[in-house]
A = this chain, B = another copy of it.
Amino acid sequence: MTEITSQEQLKSIISRIEELEEDKKSVSEDIKEVYLEAKGNGFDTKAIRRVIKLRKMAEQERKEQEELVNLYSATIGME
């Protein structure tokens, strides 16, 4: 029989999180590199950041509108 102690569970949880944090850090560094490369090619990183932010906002707004439509549809029983 295989007993899994709290201790073992906890260790597993912590190491999994730590690995994921590593991954996350790695991705962050990749992003940084792309910005650096862009800068090296003469692009304005500040503007790029804004463009990306704007695109993200537009996407969120689109989703929100969709949800709102669903909400109204549900209200009038069209769903």
Chain A residues in the interface with B (C-beta under 8 A): 6, 9-10, 13-14, 16-18, 20-21, 23-24, 27-28, 30-31, 34-35, 37-38, 41, 43-44, 46-48, 50-58, 60-61, 64-65, 67-68, 71-72, 75
Contact = CB atoms under 8 A, between A and B. Distances in A.
B28 A47 contact: no
Given A41-B9, A50-B64, A24 B18 contact: no
Nearest to A44: B75
Contact of A57 (B10, B48, B60): B60
Contacts of A27: 20, 23-24, 27
Total copies of this chain within the assembly:
4
B46 A34 contact: no
